[in-house]
Amino acid sequence: MNLPALDPGAGALARPPLILASASPRRRELLARLGITADGVLATDIDESPLKGERPRDHAVRLAAEKARAAAVQRPDALILAGDTVVGAGQRILPKAEDEATARACLALLSGRRHRVYSAVAVIGPDGRLRQALSETILRFKRLTSAEIEAYVAGGEWHGKAGGYAIQGSAEGFCAWLSGSHSGVVGLPLYETRRLLLAAGVQVA
């Protein structure tokens, strides 16, 4: 069976428009690796505060679903793709660093130890069916010196990033070992995303 084409045109009319529920340029770039350009972008504004006792993996799954549902309310005609990435140290959920002090604290905590990155994906269509998947990646950072932390913080690429670092930037030089999905750590696990989109009837490269 031939699945609907993604390219704009007559073929694209056979499926709902694909809306990426994220303003992240990283997720758009990752989606493009699958040969997909979203028909639109719709950033959602939800409360991302962890629930009491919530584990990192559950937090990622819940937020991805909530983002997808929030976007679906605004675009009930569309196929919504949403994602969320959470960095966990043990059962502790690391914040998205919005200031230098938080970035320093995250890097100091991750220095010389393993941590996990949970990247959840959610897809919801006009029929209201929610499909979800979760990528779990284990990383180990080298032991960071104070000078390395300060130099990284000065570079600014940590801003808004879960755990205070961006693996697609110079922080990859801190990663001594990784097991799992590199794209998931960046923000959109491509294996899981491809699988969900195929299940939703989207033709993927």
84 catalytic per annotation:
yes
Q: Catalytic residue, from 47, 77, 84, 99: name it.
A: 84
Q: What percent of the chain has pLDDT over 70?
A: 94
Predicted confidence at residue 205, as pLDDT, reads: 73
Is residue 11 over pLDDT 60? no
Q: What percent of the chain has pLDDT over 90?
A: 89
Query: In a 3-state reduction of DSSP, which class is residue 14?
Result: helix
**Token digits for 132?**
């979800």
Span 15-67, pLDDT tens digits: 899 999 998 899 999 999 999 999 999 999 899 999 999 999 999 999 999 99
Predicted confidence at residue 203, as pLDDT, reads: 86
Cα–Cα distance for residue pair 191/122, rounded to 1 Å: 13
Rg over alpha carbons for the chain, rounded to the nearest Å, is 18
Is residue 164 over pLDDT 70? yes
Reduced DSSP (H G I as helix, E B as strand, rest coil) percent helix, strand, coil of the chain, to 5: 35, 25, 40
Span 75-122, pLDDT tens digits: 999 999 999 999 999 999 999 999 999 999 999 999 999 999 999 999
**Architecture category of domain 11-199 in CATH:** Alpha-Beta Complex (3.90)
Helices 146-155 and 100-110 meet at what angle, rounded to 10?
140
Predicted confidence at residue 39, as pLDDT, reads: 95
**What residue ranges in 56-179 does DSSP mark as E strands?**
79-89, 92-93, 114-124, 130-141, 175-179
Report pTM.
0.90
Where do runs of H (alpha helix) occur along the chain?
25-32, 56-74, 100-110, 146-155, 182-186, 190-199
